Amino acid sequence: QVQLVESGGGLVQPGGSLRLSCTASGIIFSMYSMGWYRQAPGKQRELAAIITSGGRTMYADSVTGRFTISRDNAKNTGYLQMNSLKSEDTAVYYCNLVRVDPLVRHNYWGQGTQVTVAS
């Protein structure tokens, strides 16, 4: 019933830009913090960026200054704007929504979208 649909991945040249989107249904999107994770072949999944339900943002050192995380609660959608892309950014990117209430921790994942940075 809860669904997160990601889009925006693809092939881009080094130095180029992409914008990833994560659209949620079946939940009150504004109540959740959203993170973007990425996993490259043969490597551990890592957290790239977070935006809290209150709008505070945090970034991994490897993407700071190049990536911008944002959200549009009216559209139930979160974004990851990626600029100055490097080959090291190549990975599958996953969005994640988390909310903790008095009884349960809610945790949902998107299906992943491939980002390939290559010339």
pLDDT tens-digit series, residues 99-118: 988 888 899 999 999 999 99
Q: Is 87 exposed, middle or buried (0-12, 13-18, 19+ CB in 10 A)?
A: exposed
Share of the chain above pLDDT 90, in %: 94
Q: What is the pLDDT confidence band of residue 11, given thresholds at 50, 70 and 90?
A: very high
In whole angstroms, give the CA distance from residue 96 to residue 67. 17
Hey, how many other C-beta atoms are within 10 angstroms of the C-beta on 110?
24
pLDDT for 106: 92
Residue pLDDT, tens place only, 78-97: 999 999 999 999 999 999 99
Instruction: At 97, give phi and psi (nearest 5°).
Output: -115, 135
Residue pLDDT, tens place only, 16-43: 999 999 999 999 999 999 999 999 999 9
